[in-house]
Chain A
Amino acid sequence: MTEMAKQLAAVVGFGQTNHTATRGDVSIAGLVREAALRALDDANMTWDDIEAVVIGKAPDFFEGVMMPELYLAEALGCVGKPLLRVHTAGSVGGSTALVAASLVQAGIHERVLTVAFEKQSESEAMWALSLPMPFSPPLVAGAGGFFAPHIRSYMHRTDAPPHIGCLVALKDRQNALKNPYAHLHEHDVTFEKIEESMMLWDPIRYSETCPSSDGAAAMVITNEAGGDANGNPAWIIGNAMRSEPTMFAGRDPVNPVAGQLCADDVFAQAGITDRRAEIDVVEMYVPFSWYEPMWLENLGFCPVGDGWKLTEAGVTRMDGDLPVNPSGGVLSTNPIGASGMLRFGESTMQVRGLAG
Chain B
Amino acid sequence: MRDVAIVAFSQSKHERRIETQNEIEMMMPVVGELFDRTGLSADTIGFTCSGSTDFLAGQAFSFVTILDAIGPWPPISESHVEMDGAWALYEAWVKLQIGEIDSALVYSYGKSSPGDLPKVLTTQLDPYYVAPMWPDAISIAGLQARALLDSGKATERDFAEVAVRNRRSAMDNPKAQLAGEFNADDILAEPYLASPLRKHDCPPITDGAAAVILAAGDLARELSDRPAWIRGLDHRVDAHALGLRDLTVSPSTRLAGEKAGVGNAPVDFAELHAPFTHQELIIADALGLGDDVTINPSGGALAANPIMAAGLIRLGEAAERITRGDGNRAVAHATSGPCLQQNLVCVLEGDD
Contacts and interface: CB of A to CB of B under 8 A. Distances in A.
Interface of A: 1-6, 27-28, 58-74, 78-89, 95, 98-99, 102-103, 105-108, 122, 128-129, 131, 133, 240-248, 250, 256-258, 261-262
A64 B63 contact: no
Contacts of A103: 94
Contacts of A59: 54, 60-61
A129 B60 contact: yes
Contacts of B59: 131, 133
A124 to B, nearest CB: 12
Contacts of A261: 74-75
A59 B53 CA distance: 9
Interface of B: 1-3, 48, 53-55, 58-61, 63-65, 67-68, 71-83, 87, 90-91, 94-95, 97-100, 120-121, 123-128, 131, 217, 234-241, 244, 251-252, 255, 336-338, 341-342
Nearest to A68: B127
A180 B55 CA distance: 35
B60 A66 contact: no
A240 B255 contact: no
A99 B83 CA distance: 14
A72 B75 CA distance: 34
A297 B96 CA distance: 32
B127 A89 contact: no
A105 B2 CA distance: 13
Contacts of B121: 66
B201 to A, nearest CB: 23
Contact of B81 (A84, A128, A240): A84
B124 A78 contact: no
Contacts of A64: 123, 127
Given A83-B342, A86-B82, A247-B68, A4 B99 contact: yes
Contact of A79 (B2, B64, B125, B238): B238
Contact of A246 (B68, B123, B241): B68
Given A58-B61, A83-B235, 18 more contacts: A59-B61, A67-B124, A67-B337, A68-B127, A71-B240, A81-B237, A87-B80, A99-B91, A106-B95, A122-B127, A128-B60, A133-B58, A243-B72, A243-B78, A244-B73, A245-B73, A246-B65, A261-B74
28 contacts: A3-B2, A28-B127, A66-B55, A70-B237, A70-B336, A71-B124, A71-B126, A73-B239, A73-B341, A74-B239, A74-B241, A79-B238, A82-B237, A83-B235, A84-B83, A85-B81, A102-B91, A102-B98, A105-B98, A106-B97, A129-B60, A240-B77, A241-B77, A243-B75, A243-B76, A243-B78, A246-B67, A257-B75
B277 to A, nearest CB: 22
Given A86-B79, A240-B77, A60 B64 contact: no
A287 B165 CA distance: 55
Given A70-B338, A88-B80, A131-B59, A244 B127 contact: no
Contact of A86 (B54, B80, B217): B80
Given A73-B237, A82-B236, A106 B72 contact: no
A5 B99 contact: yes
B90 A84 contact: yes
A4 B80 CA distance: 25
A70 B337 contact: yes
A102 B83 contact: no
A131 to B, nearest CB: 6
A17 B127 CA distance: 21
Contacts of B341: 70, 73
Contacts of B79: 86, 88, 95, 98-99, 241
A106 B124 contact: no
Given A65-B127, A66-B53, A241 B78 contact: yes
B81 A63 contact: no
Given A65-B123, A88-B79, A82 B2 contact: no
A165 B326 CA distance: 64
The 3 A-B pairs of least Cβ separation, nearest first, read A59-B60, A258-B75, A106-B97
B177 to A, nearest CB: 23
Contacts of B238: 73, 79-80
A5 B2 CA distance: 10
B237 A79 contact: yes
Pick the most buried of A62, A63, A64, A79: most chain B CB atoms within 10 A of its CB.
Answer: A79
B252 A80 contact: yes
